[in-house]
Amino acid sequence: MSLLRDSFTTFSARVISFLVGVGASIIATRNLIPADKGAYSYIMLFYSVMLLLGRVGVDMATVYYVGRKKHSPSEVAATLLAWGILSGLASVGIVAAFFLLFRDTLFRDLAAFYFFLFLSFLPFSMLDSSFGGILTGKGLFTKCNLWIAATSLFGLVCLIVAVYALRGGLLGVMTAKILEIVIRSAGFVFLVRREVKFEAFGFNRAILRDFLSYGSKGYVAGIMTFLNHRLDMFLVKRYLGLDQLAFYSLAVSIAELVWHISDSVAVVLFTRVSSSGTTEADRMTAKACRHTLFLSLWPVLFMLALSGLLIPLVYTETYAPAVMPLIALLPGVLMLGLNKVLSSNLNGRGRPIIPTYASGVSVVANVSLNLFLIPRWGIVGAAFASTVSYAIATVINLSAFLGYSKARLRDVLIIKPQDVELYGTLLYKFFLKGKLYIWKSLQKRY
| Residue among 412, 409, 362, 364 nearest 387 (CA) | 362
> What is the value of pTM for the model shown?
0.75
Residue 8 is predicted with a pLDDT of: 57
pLDDT at 133 over 80: no
Residue 357 is predicted with a pLDDT of: 85
Residue 141 near residue 158, CB atoms below 8 Å = no
pLDDT at 376 over 50: yes
How confident is the model over 340-352, as pLDDT tens digits?
888 877 776 667 7
Q: Label residue 421 by pLDDT band (50, 70, 90).
A: low
Q: Tell me the CB-side half-sphere exposure of residue 46, using CA atoms within 13 A.
A: 26
Q: Label residue 365 by pLDDT band (50, 70, 90).
A: very high
Residue 217 is predicted with a pLDDT of: 66
More confident residue, 312 or 403: 312
Helix, strand, or coil (residue 330): helix
Q: Label residue 431 by pLDDT band (50, 70, 90).
A: low
pLDDT at 390 over 80: yes
Residue 278 is predicted with a pLDDT of: 64
Q: Report the chain's mean pLDDT, rounded to a whole number.
A: 81
CA 55 distance to own-chain centroid: 14
CA 393 distance to own-chain centroid: 17
More confident residue, 433 or 283: 283
Residue 375 is predicted with a pLDDT of: 93
Q: Label residue 191 by pLDDT band (50, 70, 90).
A: confident
How confident is the model over 234-256, as pLDDT tens digits?
899 989 988 999 999 999 989 88
Residue 414 is predicted with a pLDDT of: 84
| Residue among 221, 217, 250 nearest 339 (CA) | 221
How confident is the model over 196-215, as pLDDT tens digits?
877 766 777 888 888 877 77
pLDDT at 363 over 60: yes
Residue 321 is predicted with a pLDDT of: 95
pLDDT at 139 over 50: yes
pLDDT at 157 over 80: yes
pLDDT at 371 over 80: yes
pLDDT at 285 over 60: yes
Whole-angstrom distance, CA of residue 135 vs CA of residue 244? 39
Whole-angstrom distance, CA of residue 141 vs CA of residue 126? 19
Positions of E strands within 304-415? none
Q: Which amino acid would we find at residue 412?
A: V
Comparing 235-249, 256-270, 422-436, which segment has the lowest mean pLDDT?
Answer: 422-436
Whole-angstrom distance, CA of residue 47 vs CA of residue 263? 20
Comparing 12-21, 25-34, 107-116, 432-441, which segment has the lowest mean pLDDT?
Answer: 432-441
pLDDT at 14 over 50: yes
Most confidently modeled of 131-145, 172-186, 252-266?
172-186
Residue 128 is predicted with a pLDDT of: 82
How confident is the model over 77-111, as pLDDT tens digits?
888 888 888 888 888 888 888 888 888 888 888 88
Residue 221 is predicted with a pLDDT of: 67
Q: Please, what is the angle between helix 34-55 and helix 205-240, to 10°?
A: 150
Q: Please, what is the angle between helix 112-119 and helix 34-55, to 10°?
A: 40
What does the DSSP assignment read for 308-330?
HHHHHHHH-GGGGGGHHHHHHHH
